[in-house]
Structure 1
Amino acid sequence: MIGFEAALDILSNDTRREILRRLVREPHYGWQLASQLDVSQQAVVKHLNVLEGAGFVNSEKVASEKGGPPKRIYSVKQSFSLRMDLGPDLFRTKHSQLPRGGPLNISNVHGLPDTAIQIATHIGGRRRLAISEAAECITHIQEMLDRLDEQRNALVALHQHVMKRVSRSVEGEFEDYQERSIVHTMLEDPRRPFDLDAMAVAMAPRGLSMEGVEWNFDQLMSGIIPRIGMMDSETFLPVTNNTPLPWWLVQR
């Protein structure tokens, strides 16, 4: 699966989104897409090559019914979710692969609501659904997604309130811009294991040697960690020697 930035760049094109919108309904030939989108076949082929190169779609050659040369037909290959949250104190992106497996496996593994489990049970093992059945299932699924979206939006808004308040603390506690950048990087995902090396490389100024990066970063961290510690010195966690810990549970 390609990264978020590459996926966003590919999907920023209107024609490519329209191509995907039609391909999820059924496989299409290039000439069909060109006709439906009122775009030249040459342009459609270029867009399809981009989508196929990124793994969004795949193609196969199908023999012509009239005995002519085989023609290439396209269908969607990847299944993923692309999300972005933006606010005055928040910027989050996520590119995640959708779960694989049949309906029953998905419902059992991922703890779906009872209504979703009933739908999974109803369609599991069936190769076809009547249009009326599918419409009813999709209606229920869309209603559940709408409720989840409302809850997610509320959580994102709450996340933004937390970031707004902690940003004031960061600004008041750290005068140095680099120190503030490091703290904000840590706060982007407090669950992330404590990896100073990766953080140092990611934030290194251009042209600075690795030795310079390590020295500069160590100097910064030596002044940051004691000022953001939130762990009681009498608190103990039973872990193995190689257990990764989030940065706010690490003592130096």
Structure 2
Amino acid sequence: MFMSDSSIDIFDVLSNETRRRILEILAEEPAYLNQLTREIRVSQQAILKHLEYLQERGIIKSFIVRGEGGTPPKKYYEIDDSVLLLSELAKSLLDRSALRDGGVASEGELKLQVDPSSEKRKLEEIGSLDTEQRIRALREYVCSLEDTLERISAAYYALTQLKIQALNMARRTLREKFESAEDRRMLYRAITMDDDELREYFREMIENQREWVQRVFNEMKEIFGEEY
């Protein structure tokens, strides 16, 4: 279980580059020690030290996968669901803050379970009442809004938990189907992106590949001359 804010310093957790890389990898799929060592290119002893640090603080957890064909079992690490939930909720708070600071939201995002325009009209109508009626109406109005906000918060929390379950299912499914870690990560990113983000992601991949090909071509020209 994720420790409380009083018992963990998130800045200390993220201050180390190796820990950040470990969390970036585990955010997309579970991984075992040798896999993390190969991808991060840090000694196995150092990776294990950081894994123990993260696990002691409840940020990651581990599970054993039985080996096939007589191979030994592997210990996989993954980010704890409670941490993923906090991350999603924090992301939502940042998104809402951006909307308040001038961002644009769609009609569906604004409405949720209540129509703000309708509620605004109600408040304007209350403002036209005499003093005693206005006080009574304001009390009912504020209580009604508080009840609605609680329902929205509860629904959002429940939906966020379902999203995390769906992402965990996606990780397991991709691990069953694809052997290549790079293929799994690419498909996982595709699952988590909307259409615009996915198009931009593939555009960047193609552009990066083009730059790599051009760089190799230029190096070959330097080695073999202009006739190459």
Higher relative contact order structure (alpha carbons within 8 Å, sequence separation ≥ 6): 2
Higher helix share: 2
TM-score of the two chains, using structure 2 as the length reference: 0.39
TM-score of the two chains, using structure 1 as the length reference: 0.36
Higher strand share: 1
